[in-house]
Structure 1
Amino acid sequence: MPEGKLIYLSLGSNLGDRAANLERAIAALPEAGVHVLRRSSLYETEPLDFRAQPWFLNCVVEGQTLLLPRQLLHALQGIERRLGSRKLIPRGPRIIDLDILLYGTSIVRTPEIEVPHPRMTGRRFVLAPLAELAPGLHHPALGATIAELLAATPDKSSVRPWQPPASDVPS
């Protein structure tokens, strides 16, 4: 892929096989115009706004794209639809959720899309995996590094590295 914009995407799932949902979404990114460079570990995170729901698995993907921000948003929404995600309750349970966190150093504010993601600094479940990949990256609007934003976030919710359960293997 020719060099494009460096982007960071947040992925989350709390319905069905959460890890498989994330894997399917990541596998769909190249066809949607995103060259995946790296991905964070998976993190198990407690829900924030609508708390009466299962815990999430979250990760962050670093990639490159030639798509414009609005095109990228539509491509990610297409992946969500293809994987069966429906947002019936705002910030509620979902099979898959994909968000644009950063699009190079661009600042985009339209009725349809805001980049950097407007709530990322208040979300430990976004900042922890992003800091794993790019702790020294500067937020385009705030100037602080991702590591600094993680240390300063008011969100104290549980975000812990996730490992799949060990298989039941006979000894």
Structure 2
Amino acid sequence: MADQIHIKDLLLRTVIGINAEERRDRQDVLINITLTADLCPAGHSDNIEDAVNYRSITKQIIQLVEGSQFYLVEKLAAEIAAVCLADPRVESARVTVEKPGALRFARSVGVTVERNRMERVFIAMGSNIEAERNLRQAVHLLAGRCRLLAVSPVYETLPVGTTDQPNFLNAAALIETDLSPAALKSQVLQPIERHLGRRRSADKNAPRTIDLDISLYGQRVTEVGDRHIPDPEILCYPHLARPLADLSPDFVHPVTGETLGEIALRLGDSGLTLRPDIALWPA
């Protein structure tokens, strides 16, 4: 379960509703908020600078609610969620807004909205079984499940470790999603891998129809299962670094502070063969 911050029973007054009396008189609104964020940095350091400043977020919500007028509870809830997501450490916000006494015989009427931060995510792709077809299919399926922003050129590389197998084709895709890293892996990447016949074994260098991995998830530093994000191998292997740099050479690595272009330049292009004859962008 992701780390959460709860702001409970925030009782404020605002102008909300469509009837004349609702537009004239302020009404009570009861607000409950659940924020999802990575609380590990603050938990390790015990430093307020590493924590989500829920006091500041609450003050901004009070200013929004009491200083504005709304027709719909849905609009108010969405605006509160936007305030929460303005903090870059907040990954998602679940906001419930209730109007006590708005409906006869009911204690309150309310709505709940959930909003997630849209993040740009770099996906590393590789295949050496029907590689050209499977890479194209993987990009097509990614585009159907996320917003596809860009696809790198394709590079042919020699296999690592187990060398008695076909050469690999490697590339990278840049997508935008509001899914968490874990949800992106379980709901998008792994289903695509299964659809394309990926069979995992103890040998991580074995031939594969497709390999889809989260290389970078915005500026986030986190863990998904046994994988670290950013992928540490970006700093070691040209077949990962070069396609990522092709997508966004000025993107800054959240751990080292290097740009992707600088990492790719440092590692060089040894062992990479550009394949301009293969285009992956969906037709």
Relative to the length of structure 1, the TM-score reads: 0.86
Deviation at 1:49, TM superposition (A): 2.5
Q: Is the 8 A contact 1:106 1:140 kept in 2?
A: yes
Q: 2:136 maps to which residue?
A: 23
Pick aligned residue for 1:150 from 264, 267, 281: 264
Q: 1:70 maps to which residue?
A: 182
Is 1:79 matched up with 2:192? yes
Deviation at 1:20, TM superposition (A): 1.2
Return closer, same or farther for 1:118/1:5 CA change in 2, 3 Å cut-off: same
| Identical counterparts, % of pairs | 33
Pick aligned residue for 1:121 from 235, 249, 260: 235
Deviation at 1:70, TM superposition (A): 0.4
Pick aligned residue for 2:160 from 48, 60, 68: 48
Deviations 1:141-165 (A, max 9, x none): 1101111111223x86411111449
Q: 1:13 maps to which residue?
A: 127
Q: Is the 8 A contact 2:153 2:276 kept in 1?
A: no
Q: Is the 8 A contact 2:242 2:269 kept in 1?
A: no
Cα distance in 1 for residues equivalent to 2:261 and 2:134: 28
Q: 2:99 maps to which residue?
A: none
Q: Residue type of the partner of 1:144? A: E
Pick aligned residue for 1:107 from 221, 228, 232: 221
Return closer, same or farther for 1:110/1:59 CA change in 2, 3 Å cut-off: closer
Equivalenced residues, count:
161
Q: Structure 2: which 5+ residue stretches go unaligned?
A: 1-115, 279-283
Cα distance in 2 for residues equivalent to 1:147 and 1:50: 29
Cα distance in 1 for residues equivalent to 2:121 and 2:215: 8
Return closer, same or farther for 1:78/1:123 CA change in 2, 3 Å cut-off: same
Cα distance in 1 for residues equivalent to 2:224 and 2:276: 38
Q: Is the 8 A contact 2:249 2:260 kept in 1?
A: yes
Is 1:36 matched up with 2:148? yes
Other structure's SS at 1:6 match: strand
Relative to the length of structure 2, the TM-score reads: 0.53
Cα distance in 1 for residues equivalent to 2:273 and 2:251: 22
Cα distance in 1 for residues equivalent to 2:179 and 2:251: 21
Return closer, same or farther for 1:81/1:128 CA change in 2, 3 Å cut-off: same
More strand by share: 2
Q: 2:37 maps to which residue?
A: none
Other structure's SS at 2:232 match: coil
Q: Is the 8 A contact 1:127 1:149 kept in 2?
A: yes
Worse-matched range after superposition: 19-28 or 156-165:
156-165
Return closer, same or farther for 1:73/1:83 CA change in 2, 3 Å cut-off: same
More helix by share: 2
Alignment RMSD:
2.0
Q: Is the 8 A contact 2:181 2:224 kept in 1?
A: no
Q: 2:209 maps to which residue?
A: 95
Q: Residue type of the partner of 2:155? A: Y
Q: Greater RCO between the two (CA within 8 Å, min separation 6)?
A: 1
Q: 1:168 maps to which residue?
A: none
Q: Is the 8 A contact 1:44 1:58 kept in 2?
A: yes
Return closer, same or farther for 1:97/1:21 CA change in 2, 3 Å cut-off: same
Worse-matched range after superposition: 138-147 or 104-113:
104-113
Q: 2:88 maps to which residue?
A: none
Q: Structure 1: which 5+ residue stretches go unaligned?
A: 166-171
Q: Is the 8 A contact 1:46 1:157 kept in 2?
A: no
Other structure's SS at 2:156 match: strand
